[in-house]
Amino acid sequence: MVRERIEELRRQLEYHNHKYYVENDPSISDFEFDALMRELQQLEEAHPEFADPDSPTMRVGSDISSEFVTVRHRYPMLSLGNTYSLDELHEFLERIEREAGPTEYVCELKFDGTAISLTYENGRLLRAVTRGDGVEGDDVTANIRTIRSVPLRLRGDGWPAYFEIRGEVLMPYASFDKINAEREAAGESLFANPRNAAAGTLKQQQSAVVARRGLDCTLYQLSGDDLPFSTHWESLLKAREWGFKVSEHGRVCRTVAEVDAFIARWDEARRDLPFPTDGVVIKVNDFAERRRIGFTAKAPRWAVAYKFKAEQALTRLVSVDFQVGRTGAVTPVANLEPVRLAGTTVRRATLHNAEQMALLDIRPDDMVYVEKSGEIIPKITGVELSQRPADSRPFVYATVCPECGTPLVRYEGEAKHYCPNQSGCRPQIIGRIIHFIRRKAMDIDGLGEETVELLYENGLLHDISDLYDLKAEQLAPLPRLGEKSADNIVRSIAASREVPFHRVLFGLGIRFVGETTAKYLADHFRSLNAVMHATREELVEADEVGGKIADAIVDYFADPENLRIIGRLRDAGLRFESEERTLASESLAGRSFVISGKFATHSRDELKELIEMHGGRNLAAVSANVDFIVAGENMGPAKLKKAEKLGVKIISEEEFVAMIGGEEPSQAATQGTLF
Ligand code: IVH
């Protein structure tokens, strides 16, 4: 009885999932759906013996972190030739008709998401793999299973025992806006566009997070050894019957004029679609004809993508604000009359810098073209001169900081103006504090942008070092805070004393020292003292540190105000040193190595890590101080010559591994416990 009920509920819930997520035509209310779902959850909990991974209850994903396994595609995932020009598209179609005679095409929307390949075996979803490099991709099955429109079991009959179906994982604009709003509120970095958001979400390690992100998946291409169809169109119709979401916008086109009409229609109509598209894909319909036309090395010769030009909108420029960032850089930002563009409403757009404004010759009250080009903030790409007021005058660029009145400066080689008043200019001060408390830096919870502003206004926070003197009694009486948040904040600040050194270094906000550079610096110098006293020449010795970064670091530590702040952070007990490595052995103590070339079984970083774990030292360049060069494939001839001249010993990867006992520490450790 129970078993029958469970099966009935599963059938009903999948039916309603399909109605809602595939057909966009729900037949029961959310309330009724939730009630069925709850009943199923309770029965499954009480009867674990009837568990089923394909149950609709499992679509919520899990918190278990899954590593992605690399899987080889049975049918390589090719890319498509593409063009922005109708002339080129016509040449493409003419070539096909020259080779194959009058041809039938299927025109489809080109969905702007991230490609996926689903494998079905005996009607059940076996695997979902990303495109990767086209030959191998990541197994993201756990994440794909949370997308309600992806069938876990196929409907109807007639499906091949084994086949793959390709499509696009998409993020509808509505989900994208919601996620970015949440990320903004949490102080997290924003996704630049729905495509990045879809790809980023698919690489999430917790499927429960994916389940909440509102992804969708639309399918457009079958692959298999003996597909029971003779045309692409037929295969799409069948796929739809089996439960897949196949776009209803695809059309069979029998002439070039019909293809053109399809393109012209969707170049406009796509503005009303709830998800992003970036073109039209034109495919030969007949499979036998496809086989005759064949492939190039990278793409089929029987299909092509026509890409739409980036969407533009024309609107009036209302005013220009000058925004001052954390580094003092000034960015002109246009305030616009609100206008719809690529699924969202645009009110502001960046003008980049003074040069760009002059280049566009942009003037107050101009009608301007706005465009989204992958970045979060739209940009202004042109002015509609025919609508310019007769009496208009060029803009006068700001000469003083709009925030603190300090005259702006322009550094050599930089397009932007800067406010040099680092320690007295509000957005710079607040920006630096916000950067410091970010998750990827000191990760101080409970202190958002608003609270930082509040503390600054109340004279409690002038720079990052003040954080460590804050007392709960000072915070609790402030508006919107109260005792509980005050305690939280103080506790979270105290906990940040344990944050590892490389994140402290990142948090300082030295120009050009991002998260990765901070890691390299910390790895190389191992303490703040060492970074502080390093010369420009010594700084560029660290991986990924070039002259520009080195100069910024030297400048930063030359400023007495920064040194004062660092002194106070040191007194507060922050970590200014990298963790001591626990050595696996002393077998390389006192020996210096240079790694050169490519290696069969280790990456260069792994080798460097092994050297340090065994007490050795890594050097960047061949000199008389070097004891060994570990040489891999294609080590440079100049290095080889120099090594020979200096008498430095050259060893292979195998010889190196033998020097550290022939075992990598992790393996040695496991064996130690086993025997
Ligand atoms: S067919 C062998 N159809 O565009 C042909 N691709 O630029 C396989 N795409 O990697 C692709 N919409 O991710 C096809 N209706 C559609 C598509 C589409 C979007 C993507 C796909 C592909 C990329 C090529």
Q: pLDDT tens digit string along 91-119?
A: 999 999 998 999 999 999 999 999 999 99
CB 409 within 8 A of CB 471: no
Short-list 321, 334, 331, 385, CA closest to 353: 331
In ligand 1, the atom with minimum distance to the C-alpha of 112 is: 19
| In the chain, ranges of CATH 3.40.50.10190 domains | 592-674
Which residues belong to the active site? 110
Which mutation among 84, 114, 220 tests ligand 1's pocket best, with the greatest number of atoms within 8 A of CB? 220
Q: What percent of the chain has pLDDT over 90?
A: 68
CA distances from 443 to 162, 180, 438, 492, 498 (A): 48, 20, 5, 8, 11
Give strand ranges (E) for 288-400: 303-307, 312-324, 329-341, 344-350, 367-371, 379-383
At which residue do the structure tokens 């918190």 appear? 63
pLDDT of residue 298: 83
- From the number of C-beta atoms within 10 Å of its C-beta (0-12, 13-18, 19+), residue 617 rates as middle
Going from the Cα of 512 to the center of ligand 1, the distance in angstroms, rounded, reads 37
Q: Helix H segments across 248-362?
A: 256-269, 287-293, 354-360
Which mutation among 83, 105, 111, 218 tests ligand 1's pocket best, with the greatest number of atoms within 8 A of CB? 111
Tokens at residue 578, please? 């990298």
In this structure, are strands 649-651 and 617-618 parallel, antiparallel, or unpaired?
unpaired
pLDDT of residue 461: 95
CATH 3.40.50.10190 fits 592-674, yes or no: yes
**CA-to-CA distance for 649 and 157, rounded, in angstroms?**
68
pLDDT of residue 72: 93
In this structure, the residues whose C-beta lies within 6 A of any atom of ligand 1 are 78-80, 82, 108, 110-111, 115, 168, 220-221, 281, 300, 303, 305
Residue 577: pLDDT band with limits 50, 70, 90 = very high
Residue 673: pLDDT band with limits 50, 70, 90 = very low
What type of residue is 71? Answer: V
Residue 187: pLDDT band with limits 50, 70, 90 = low
Mean pLDDT of 30-35: 91
Instruction: For residue 115, list its beta bridge partners.
Output: 168
CB atoms within 10 A of CB 492: 17
In ligand 1, the atom with minimum distance to the C-alpha of 299 is: 2
Among the CATH numbers 2.60.120.10, 3.40.50.720, 1.10.150.20, 3.40.1280.10, which is that of 501-571? 1.10.150.20
CB atoms within 10 A of CB 491: 14
In this structure, are strands 649-651 and 628-631 parallel, antiparallel, or unpaired?
parallel
pLDDT of residue 190: 78
Tokens at residue 307, please? 């890409």
In this structure, are strands 367-371 and 312-324 parallel, antiparallel, or unpaired?
antiparallel
CB atoms within 10 A of CB 374: 9
User: Which residue's CA is minimally distant from atom 7 of ligand 1?
Assistant: 80
User: Which residue's CA is minimally distant from atom 13 of ligand 1?
Assistant: 115
- End-to-end CA gap in the chain: 53
pLDDT of residue 671: 30
CATH no. for 312-387:
2.40.50.140
Counting every residue, how long is the chain?
A: 675
pLDDT of residue 668: 34
pLDDT of residue 423: 86
pLDDT of residue 87: 95
Residue 579: pLDDT band with limits 50, 70, 90 = confident
Going from the Cα of 113 to the center of ligand 1, the distance in angstroms, rounded, reads 10
Q: pLDDT tens digit string along 458-512?
A: 999 999 999 999 999 999 999 888 899 999 999 999 999 999 999 999 999 998 8
Going from the Cα of 81 to the center of ligand 1, the distance in angstroms, rounded, reads 10
Q: What percent of the chain has pLDDT over 70?
A: 97
Fold observed for domain 426-498: DNA polymerase; domain 1 (1.10.150)
Going from the Cα of 26 to the center of ligand 1, the distance in angstroms, rounded, reads 29
Half-sphere exposure of 355 (CA within 13 A, CB side): 6
Going from the Cα of 116 to the center of ligand 1, the distance in angstroms, rounded, reads 10
The backbone region for 592, taken as left when phi is positive above 0, alpha when psi lies in -120 to 50, beta otherwise, is: beta
pLDDT: which is higher, 186 or 120: 120
Report which DSSP code applies to 396.
P
| In the chain, ranges of CATH 1.10.287.610 domains | 2-60
| In the chain, ranges of CATH 1.10.150.20 domains | 426-498, 501-571
The CATH superfamily label for domain 72-307 reads: DNA ligase/mRNA capping enzyme (3.30.470.30)
Q: pLDDT tens digit string along 293-346?
A: 999 878 999 999 999 988 889 999 999 999 999 999 999 999 999 998 877 788
Mean pLDDT of 244-271: 95
Give ∠ CA 387-388-394 in degrees, rounded to 5: 160
In ligand 1, the atom with minimum distance to the C-alpha of 221 is: 1
At which residue do the structure tokens 């410091």 appear? 436
φ, ψ of residue 392 to 5 degrees: the values are -75, 150
Instruction: For residue 129, list its beta bridge partners.
Output: 117, 139
For residue 623, give the 3-state DSSP assignment: coil
Fold observed for domain 2-60: Helix Hairpins (1.10.287)
pLDDT: which is higher, 412 or 246: 246
What type of residue is 89? Answer: L
Rounded mean pLDDT of the chain? 90
Most confident of 22-26, 181-185, 413-417, 567-571: 567-571
pLDDT at 184 over 90: no
User: Which residue's CA is minimally distant from atom 17 of ligand 1?
Assistant: 110
